[in-house]
Amino acid sequence: MVIDELDSRLLVTMRAHPRIGLTELARLLGVARGTVQARVEKLTARGVIADFGPTVTPEGVGYPILAFVSLQISQGRLAEAVQALRALPEILEVYGTSGQSDLLCRVVARSTPELQEVIARILASPAVQRTDTTVALSVQVPFRIEPLLRAVPSRAAEATART
């Protein structure tokens, strides 16, 4: 599922101007409005565009503490652990991992004592054997996708040239 140069430009422009309409987007890209609409629909159907909603920051809604909590899970109890984690609203994401831990959780809290309570609730699940917590002190490189989007068309062209 490779995107082409127009898809890349379209996505970068949409990220830079999240409230832009299709007509203005078409004008900025120098293509027909129908082309933009068809591309957006195609990218949405393929799951490239996940949503059109506002990006809400945890700190903006009162959760300034960010931590990454790795979990070791009891053998055969992964589904039970994930179900317990889903019940905690402070857990934003959970990833299955390789290495010493089984799961990696992105967790937010209003304060460090509240973070400690969240970790205690995680450990209350019999499926969780152990946790290891790292508190984020600052963001050095925020989430970004634009460099990857800009690189995709040139890498696709390189791959095509090699074949």
Phi, psi of 78 (to 5 degrees): -60, -50
Give me the pLDDT at residue 142, please: 93
The amino acid occupying position 1 is M
- Residue 2 confidence class, pLDDT cut points 50, 70, 90: confident
* Residue where a domain stops, chosen among 13, 37, 54: 54
Secondary structure class of 42 (helix, strand, coil): helix
Residue 108, Cα to own-chain centre: how many angstroms? 15
Question: What is the rounded average pLDDT of the residues 84-102?
Answer: 97
Please report whether residue 64 resides in a domain: yes
Q: Is residue 160 part of a domain?
A: no
What average pLDDT does the segment 137-159 reach?
Answer: 84
Whether the pTM exceeds 0.85: the reply is: no
Residue with tokens 């460099």: 147
Residue 103 buriedness (CB in 10 A; 0-12 / 13-18 / 19+): buried
pLDDT level of residue 163 (50, 70, 90 thresholds)? low
62: left (phi over 0), alpha (psi -120 to 50) or beta: left
Q: Evaluate if residue 70 carries a pLDDT over 70.
A: yes
Is the separation of the CB atoms in 97 and 33 below 8 Å? no
Q: How many domains is the chain partitioned into structurally? A: 2
pLDDT at 104 over 80: yes
Query: In this structure, are 65 and 41 located in the same domain?
Result: no
